[in-house]
Amino acid sequence: MNYTTQAVLDKFAISISALCAIHCALTPVLLALMPSLSALGLADHLYHEVMVLIVLPTSMLAVLLGCNKHKDMRVLVLAVIGLLTLAGSAIFGHDFLGETGEKAATMIGAIIIAMAHWRNLGLCRKQACAEK
């Protein structure tokens, strides 16, 4: 895989993280305003698990490809913290943190993952420019 693949994966992971945060913030409001949306299952726990299953491999692949290139361990540490926070909130959050705590932990995890990918993308772009 080359820089382009890694950059696409980073951008995809940032988008998915943003989608998670938007989902957590807007779903309760939308369900209150339009109760018929509850039929879509957007507030369902399965939705969170599916999103985590998409985010985990995409994020890890992008981060590992980037870290292999730029050797910045802060990206890896941020990504691991964010992914553990996101996965933990999806799996255990509702039981241990309640609904509000689960949403807060999910948003925090998504933001940390997005920060890791933003840094990863910037470092990889910088290094690609330096090599030319």
Q: Is the pLDDT of residue 132 over 50?
A: no
- Model pTM score: 0.72
Q: Do 62 and 68 meet the contact criterion of CB atoms below 8 Å apart? A: no
User: How high does pLDDT run on average in the chain?
Assistant: 78
**What confidence tens digit (pLDDT) does each residue in 22-40 have?**
766 666 666 666 666 555 5
Average pLDDT over residues 115-126: 86
* Domain count along the chain: 1
**What confidence tens digit (pLDDT) does each residue in 56-100 have?**
888 888 888 888 888 889 999 999 999 999 888 888 877 787 878
Collapsed DSSP state (helix, strand, coil) of residue 1: coil
What's the half-sphere exposure (Cβ side, CA atoms, 13 Å) at 67?
17
- Supply the DSSP symbol for 38: G
Q: How far apart are CA 98 and CA 106, in angstroms?
A: 12
Residue 46 domain boundaries? 3-131
Nearest to 76 by CA among 11, 21, 68: 68
Q: How far apart are CA 116 and CA 76, in angstroms?
A: 7
Rounded to 5°, the CA angle 70-71-76 comes to 110
Number of H helices, E strands in the chain: 4, 0
